[in-house]
Chain A
Amino acid sequence: MSDKSVSVVGGTARLVAIAAIAAVIVALAWQVTRRPIAENLHAQRMAEFSAVLGSVSFDTLDYDNFMRIEAPHDLPGDEAAIIYTAMRDDQVAAWVFVVQAAGYNGPIRLMIGLNPALDVTAVRVLEHAETPGLADGIERSKSDWIDGFNNERVVNESDPRWALRQQGGAFDSFTGASITPRAIVHAVRDTVAWAKRNSEDRLGTKTDD
């Protein structure tokens, strides 16, 4: 009985010592990598923002300061939507929307840039789970399909141009995969339409159509 309690105490003490060694390893690694990780994150966010803002020039885009619209909302997607604001000379230079299109294999996270007139500046796919090979076209690193959204304008929610070419729209489909591009086209259209409907009360601006 007493032997056993000694070994429990001893075992616990040894385990605590090993946990302390493990904690030191993690602390050292964190110390070394903390700054590069923060810098990478910043560079990656800024690269994403610049990619969707195209030629729009802006002074500040604070990615810690965003509007979060909790689901259920009438933007595309079932998760919260995020809206960042890029400023220039104290005026809004652009908005960046992060929404989800309903892809074939689940949500496709999209980043959509809109200028103050609510034209699309550019669109990028942040994350998706579509079938590799078939839906490669949505990745900017593999295809320029997504550039088809550059400087596009949405007239209203039933704008006939915002469909795939086979339905009389303005956007190309991919061989073997039409659900994916259609989902993105519609998500972008619905995001712009939402921005137009809500420009005064949610985005705090008046746009002249």
Chain B
Amino acid sequence: MTDIRSIVSDGLWHNNAGMVQLLGLCPLLAISNTAVNALGLALATLAVLTLSNVLVSLARPLLQPEIRIPAYVLVIAALVTASELIFNAFLPSLHARLGIFLPLIVTNCAIVARAESFASRQSPGLALVDGFAYGLGFGWVLVVIGIARELIGTGTVFAGLNLLIPSMPATGITITDGGMLLALLPPGAFFALAALLVVRNLIHAKRVR
């Protein structure tokens, strides 16, 4: 249960926050309209989840059952506020595009779930690995949906990458001309996630057999 390999494979695949636990769907669906937005939110979530796991684990001597939920909320809210300030200071245009979804990382239940079910019972080192693995797991799902929606919606991938890495081109990689607008609109998010879940379930079913 607690060896590093199983933590990593749970976080990335078997117990993936976005695909299996289906936690954090609000940001997953709302901010996956382009690959760059998805990548930005994925990085912020990864940082918050990793640090919150470490801090919750370090704070174990202070935790007792009655206060654990407000304690998680305090730690996560502080980290989200800090990450929002950092985005605002150093990546202002991405901050403007992610808008309300950066502070709303605080409501991503995947983070509280890891604090409660893992970090509050394990050493800081393992909590760090766990937070990183689940953060990456959530992040890759977010980015895959972002790439798919952007590609189908506009025919480009990673347009606006200069917001994240200034030396990169703003136009991204153009693959086809134009696209299906639906993919960019809210229903597109549900279709993309559903398609991903189908793929995941097919692979899972094959393995079980």
Contacts and interface: CB of A to CB of B under 8 A. Distances in A.
Given A11-B66, A17-B62, A21-B59, A37 B181 contact: no
What band does the interface of chain B fall in when counting residues whose beta carbon is under 8 Å from A? Answer: 20 to 34
A15 B81 contact: no
Contacts of A15: 67, 70-71, 74
B89 A14 contact: no
What band does the interface of chain A fall in when counting residues whose beta carbon is under 8 Å from B? Answer: 20 to 34
Interface in A1-28: 7, 10-12, 14-15, 17-19, 21-23, 25-26, 28
A11 B59 CA distance: 13
A205 interface: no
Contacts of A29: 81-83, 85-86
A14 B81 contact: no
Nearest to B170: A141
Nearest to B184: A132
B125 interface: no
Nearest to B80: A26
A26 B185 contact: no
Given A10-B64, A14-B63, A19 B74 contact: yes
Given A133-B153, A133-B181, A14 B62 contact: yes
Nearest to B81: A26
A65 interface: no
B69 to A, nearest CB: 10
A44 interface: yes
A134 B71 contact: no
A133 B77 CA distance: 35
Contacts of B70: 15
A14 B75 contact: no
Given A7-B66, A14-B63, A25-B78, A132 B89 contact: no
Interface of A: 7, 10-12, 14-15, 17-19, 21-23, 25-26, 28-30, 32-33, 36-37, 40, 44, 131-134
